[in-house]
Structure 1
Amino acid sequence: MANNGPDSNGSQFFITYSKQTMLDMKYSVFGKLVHCANLYVLVA
């Protein structure tokens, strides 16, 4: 979830296709993308 400071949590989600170490310890991870049968599936 996105966070823009105190009391500002929202429902903005980020989907990345590779590791993003600059986001470590700053955002919650809800799942991962898995490639299956020519499409990507979000596994929570």
Structure 2
Amino acid sequence: MDSNGKAFLKSNMGFAIDLFLSSKRELCLVAHINLDNKHDNI
């Protein structure tokens, strides 16, 4: 594999990780909001 291929793979991997972390953070945020709503209902 040439250096361009490695750089491309690395940037894609970083992008995938960023995407995964941000989606995970959003899920946590949504879950947190749902929990807050449940507490309000009690």
The higher-RCO structure (CA 8 Å, 6+ apart) is: 1
**More helix by percentage:** 2
User: TM class, shorter-chain normalised?
Assistant: under 0.3
Higher strand fraction (1 or 2): 1
- Bigger radius of gyration, 1 or 2? 2
TM-score, with length taken from structure 1: 0.20
